[in-house]
Amino acid sequence: MSDNTFDIIFHPVRLKIIRTLTIYDELTSMQLFKEIGDVPQATLYRHIQTLLEKGVLYVVKEHKVRGNIESVYALNINKVSLTASDLDKMSKEEKLLFFLKFLMMNHVEYENYLNNNENKSDQATYAMANLYLTDHEFSEFQTEYNELIKTRIKNKPTEGRKLRTLSTIIIPQKIEKKD
């Protein structure tokens, strides 16, 4: 992910567009407007255009609606994914900034959850665990974890299903346990 793309996607309205398209895969601007709800239509269109120009979104198909061409948008996942190579190229300060923005996105998600939850019990949680793993064991763990996520990530919204955001942070520690 280039620095420019990083700056492009970390705008509150653009993050809402990206997040919504990660849930629904393909949407028109009107569908995005209805799903996001709290962004004026003209503002939303302007940010869709910016994301299109930068290659973060692309047009999947177009169709006529009352004489106008309506585009259906999808997310270019390669433009919003951070690779190991991207991290290797970042300075310590850039990594910390990216991590802070990641934490802020989680903060916003959790705040929205709390604002709309009305103190109902619904299995929301956060936890921390320390695991002692060799590099090989950790690689196996990551593969197992990713496979587990893949089995559920394409679930479509249906009655009874709630959208649940799962965020993962893996931090290798330098602390060695003394026997």
pLDDT at 177: 64
pLDDT confidence of residue 133: 92
Q: What is the dihedral of CA 24, 29, 30, 32, to 10 degrees?
A: 40
CB neighbourhood size of 177 (10 A):
7
Q: CA torsion sign, 14 to 107 to 23 to 167?
A: positive
**pTM recorded for the entire structure:** 0.68
User: What does the block give as tokens for 30?
Assistant: 């009107």
CA distance 169 to 122: 22
Burial of 159 (0-12, 13-18, 19+ CB in 10 A): exposed
Amino acid 78: pLDDT: 80
pLDDT at 27: 94
As beta bridge partners, residue 74 has 26, 58
> For domain 3-79, which CATH number applies: 3.60.60.10, 3.30.559.10, 3.40.50.11030, 1.10.10.10?
1.10.10.10
Position 173 scores a pLDDT of 84
Q: Tell me what pLDDT residue 30 has.
A: 92
Sequence ranges of the domains in the chain: 3-79
Average pLDDT of adjacent 10-residue blocks, the chain of 179 residues: 68 87 88 90 94 93 88 88 81 87 82 78 84 92 91 85 85 74
